[in-house]
Structure 1
Amino acid sequence: MMYALLWRALPGPGWFRVILLLVLAVAAVYACFEWLFPQIADYMPFNEQTVGE
């Protein structure tokens, strides 16, 4: 249902909507890797090293 809402909300013909959705998906992944993941990295449990103790 979410994809149908996105599809209907975007302007233009079908081929343009596909390109626009791909651009939006790439932008969302880029934003996560540039801003979100570095902010929460300190709180993730895989930063604790237990080897060698």
Structure 2
Amino acid sequence: MYAWIWRKLPFGLWGKVTGSLVLVATVGVLLWYVVFPWATPLLPFDDVQVGTAGTEQQDPNLVVPGDGAEVGPDEIPYDQHTNAPDPSASPR
């Protein structure tokens, strides 16, 4: 495919180089301003959950950065299981 495009571009070597750059820029602009904005709502990258939801109480034993507790460089300063509670038998 690239060889076919290269053969079809006119005006010798410098015309082919310039035409290639214009084609790459056009494809980039088309992706950036048309395709990516259209596809953004379809992708799950903005589906995040921060904090607690509903009436759940936050664990008072959580280490919160800035509350005077020392957190080591390899420690995660929040509860890792807040968003993944243990399964219960009662339906919600």
TM over 0.5: yes
- Runs of 5+ consecutive residues of structure 2 not aligned to the other structure: 53-92
1:1-53 superposed matches below 5 A:
2-53=1-52
- The 2-side partners of 1:16 and 1:22 are apart by 10
- Runs of 5+ consecutive residues of structure 1 not aligned to the other structure: none
State the TM-score, normalized to the length of structure 1: 0.84
Q: Structure 1 runs of 4+ off > 6 angstroms?
A: none
State the TM-score, normalized to the length of structure 2: 0.52
CA-based RMSD: 1.1
User: How many correspondences in the alignment?
Assistant: 52
Bigger share in helix: 1
- The 1-side partners of 2:51 and 2:29 are apart by 35
- The 1-side partners of 2:51 and 2:28 are apart by 35
